[in-house]
Amino acid sequence: MLEIGRLGTFEFPAGLYLYCGSALNGLKGRIRRHLRRDKKHHWHIDRLTAVAPVAQVWWVVEGARRECRWADAIKEQGGQIVARRFGSSDCKCSSHLLWWEKGEYTSDLYRILFADAGQATFGMWAAGKDEDSPGFEPGESAKSPS
C-alpha cells in the first residue's frame, strides 16, 4: 500500500509500470529528478519512484504533450489502471500510470508509442545493473522504433 497525496492509498501489485508524463521545458532535469530516490514529493510519480527503481525511460523531444495519447495506447495494448487519476489531475484521463502485466515491455509497444514521432528526437534509456540509476542524456541511446 502506498499513499499518493490527496488521491488516497492504493495497492500496487508487483510488476512493471508505465508512467506517461511531459516536461515541455527541461526534459533532462525532470528525468534526472525522477531517477533520484531522495527528493521532495511534488508530483504523484515522486511517491512511487521513491520506493521503486526506474528501469527504463522512453522519451521524445518535441513541443507537443503526448502523455494522454500514450496512456490511451498503453491501455489498448493491455495496460491496467491501479491508481485512478495518478498523474492526470490536469486533464480528463483516468490515469497516466498503467500496470503492465505482460512481464516486459515489448518492441511492439515501443513502435506504437513512437509511430508518429516523425522527425522528433526520441529514444529509450535503460538503467544499469545498479539500483540507483546514473544520469540521463537525451540522444545518448536514441533508437528507431523498427
pLDDT at 145 over 80: no
pLDDT digits (tens, 9 = 90+) for 27-70: 888 888 888 888 899 889 999 988 888 888 888 887 778 899 99
Task: Give the other-Cβ count within 10 Å of 55's Cβ.
Answer: 12
Rounded distance between C-alpha atoms, residue 65 and residue 69, angstroms: 8
* Residue 77, all three cell numbers: 495494448
Using 50, 70 and 90 to split pLDDT, how confident is the model at 137? low
| DSSP bridge partners of 58 | 124
pLDDT at 140 over 70: no
Note the pLDDT tens digit of each residue in 4-32: 989 999 999 988 899 998 887 778 888 88
Look at residue 129 in the predicted model and tell me its pLDDT.
41
Residue 134's pLDDT band (cuts 50, 70, 90): very low
pLDDT tens, residue by residue, 76-132: 989 999 999 999 988 999 999 999 887 677 778 888 888 888 778 877 777 764 444
